[in-house]
Copies of this chain bind each other. A is one copy, B any other.
Amino acid sequence: MAKDLAAKQRKVHFEPDNVDIVVEEGANLRETAIQAGVPIIASCGGIGSCGTCKVSIKNGEVVTTRTARVSDEEFEQGVRQACQSRVVTDLTVYLPPESRLETSILSREKKVTAGVAVTGWRFKPPLTKFFVELPPPTLEDNISDLSRLLRGLKQQYHLRNMTVDFGVVEKLSQILRDSDWKVTVMTLVTALESQAAESKRRPMVINVQPGDTREKHYSLAFDIGTTAVRGQLLDLTRGRVIAESIEYNRQISYGADVITRIAYAQKQDGLKKLQQAVVANINSIISQLLSQRHVEIENIGHLMVAGNTTMIQILLGLDPKYIRLSPYTPAATYIPPVKASSLGITVAEYVYLFAFPSVASYVGGDIVSGVVASGMHQIKKLTCYIDIGTNGQIVVGNSDWMVTAACSAGPAFEGGGVKHGMVATNGAIEEFSINPSNLEPVVGTIGGEKAKGVCGSGLINIIAALLEAGIIGQNGKFNTGLATKRIREGQDGYEYVLIRAAETQINKDIVITEVDIDNLVRAKAAIYAGCQTLVKSVGVTLQDFEQVIIAGAFGSHLDISKAITIGLLPDLPPDRFIFIGNGSLWGARLTSFSVDILDDVRRVARIMTNLELSENATFMNNYIAALFLPHTNADEFPSVAGKLASLMADKSKRRIGV
């Protein structure tokens, strides 16, 4: 458009949300949706490669760059990739179910093993409130207002060596006089201080409030995940979670995984946009939490935030560029205290944000937080802590030592790179079994809705079932000689029809292809090889694990026996596996309740040794050996080998019997 002409205004109407927005002609349709608050998915960050942001143009005209992601049939029906389209006229745009982010599912029930947790800590929040009544000054006792306050804290609570935020000095004189010398002092023990012996700690006076406000004593715990942002409102007087909220990470609109977002951060204002997106998440969650419990914002005194290294760097406005470039260095593992308001978070000016220390670029504070919450650092048992997602993070060790590694599994576990893959939301196929007599599937979806696609945990169940039924071989290829019409040749080679079009929400056959299986095999091989390499580096074996702690949203929905069947998890007795759910948020909460745990956090981050797997030859060998179901070395999975052998024998018997 010529710059000297006023740009033409176009109205875009989104269905089924019934949202209108006015933009300039030429505006990108995906960005328009984001601006309008329409929950559009765009895994690849808007470069056209993933096809997850498909929309139907119901009325009006767009100009679009067509990619292979849109079939001829779709194109004729008006389906376009939003990221590849620009607004020409007024539009009516329909966002189909498979392109939507659904939040309801984020909080679905998870498997959590009871009785596993860090122990031996005192309820002693780093943020504390002290009520002091001070004698008013006289001519005989006219020390400064601040000295009077500190003297009062010393006399009444034996607090010494305090440091004071300058902001306190700015308002102190007036508050003391307005409140008749009765005030509540808020002090914070930072992570650095929590390490010092208790008598040597220097709590920081961060705020003073008139009167006795000890009953209004709250803080926030956050887990900033790549996919979702979770927040909890904590009552620090009673040591309780009093509200919880969750949202998709708004950065999803700029890319589904950390790598895409780091790439986006390199664009003009990219980092700023990503930061603003997650700050908007945090602010929205804060406002939900506060309104749920009628808590006032000025009584929120602290934020504990755990997240992976990239999420934390983006939140803090630290360019994550070098996280992505070899040799993969984060800016800082220990983040100095930072005022939350300086990041745009809408809390009072005095509130500090504590970001959990990370260990490496791909082993973040979320892992440290979860390890501490699980109490892994307190027990002698050889433990494996594992959080599986686009990246798998593995920690091996016990109370004396810990080694950690991250391995890039690719997006398969989150439904990415899979023909009918989707995030684990309503309509995703998760439960799956095969009737051995007729090779027909039995399918269950999340929420019991008609199927829309397949989520990561569903994929594992499907592949395990296909393997056990002999529909695929240990190489992941279809046994095309079987007497079932479910196996057929499709666009991407052989595929198995999981469910017929008529029974779906999307009116298409939902299938699993050899390419999909191959992607999942590579993902599971990376995780397993990571575990192998890590244990080898410290001279133990996978069989030595006395417990395996499964953390994270994906892990919480894993069927352990199926995961062992495909060779994702080591072949151990089921009672060694423990589920802890969202360890990151759990740790953030516990750390808000106890300086003891805050101290543990720094200690754990310090003792963890990171093993870099990229360009590691042992890892590569292990990985290649793991590209088989369950593994090229049958000895690694004796129970699976046995099961498969007996299934084979059964079949032979049956075949003979037939």
Contact = CB atoms under 8 A, between A and B. Distances in A.
Interface of A: 137-148, 163-166, 168-170, 172-174, 177, 192, 316-319, 321-322, 326-338, 358, 360-361, 610, 612, 614-616
Count the copies: 2
Contacts of A615: 139
Contacts of A317: 170
A50 to B, nearest CB: 29
Given A137-B329, A166-B336, A338-B166, A173 B142 contact: no
A141 B612 CA distance: 9
B327 A146 contact: no
Nearest to A190: B163
Contact of A144 (B137, B326, B332): B332
A610 to B, nearest CB: 8
Contacts of A327: 137-139, 141-142
A139 B172 contact: no
Contacts of A163: 192, 336
Given A139-B612, A148-B329, A169-B331, 19 more contacts: A139-B327, A139-B615, A140-B612, A142-B329, A142-B612, A143-B333, A144-B360, A145-B330, A146-B334, A163-B192, A166-B336, A166-B337, A166-B338, A172-B331, A172-B332, A173-B318, A173-B319, A173-B321, A177-B322
B318 A147 contact: no
A182 B527 CA distance: 38
26 contacts: A138-B327, A139-B326, A139-B615, A139-B616, A141-B327, A142-B327, A142-B360, A142-B361, A143-B333, A144-B330, A144-B331, A145-B322, A145-B330, A145-B331, A146-B332, A146-B333, A146-B334, A147-B334, A166-B316, A169-B332, A169-B335, A170-B316, A172-B331, A173-B318, A173-B321, A174-B319
A533 to B, nearest CB: 14
Given A173-B318, A319-B174, A321-B173, A329 B165 contact: no
B166 A333 contact: no
A318 B170 CA distance: 6
A118 to B, nearest CB: 25
Nearest to A147: B333
Report, nearest first, the 9 A-B pairs whose CB atoms are least far apart: A146-B332, A142-B327, A144-B333, A144-B330, A139-B327, A166-B338, A166-B336, A164-B336, A137-B327
Nearest to A610: B142
Contacts of A360: 142-144
Given A169-B318, A317-B170, A142 B332 contact: no
Contacts of A172: 331-332
A174 B331 CA distance: 9
A143 B606 CA distance: 11
A265 to B, nearest CB: 12
Nearest to A321: B173
A633 to B, nearest CB: 27
Contacts of A147: 332-334
A556 B298 CA distance: 53
B332 A145 contact: yes
A229 B324 CA distance: 52
Residue from A163, A172, A317, A318 having most chain B Cβ neighbours under 10 A? A318
B612 A331 contact: no
Given A173-B319, A173-B322, A318-B169, A143 B614 contact: no
Given A166-B337, A192-B163, A146 B612 contact: no
A226 to B, nearest CB: 20
A272 to B, nearest CB: 13
A322 B316 CA distance: 39
Contacts of A338: 166
Contacts of A137: 327, 329
A336 B165 contact: yes
Given A164-B336, A173-B322, A336-B166, A146 B331 contact: yes
A131 B556 CA distance: 49
Contacts of A335: 166, 169
A309 to B, nearest CB: 9
A319 B177 CA distance: 13
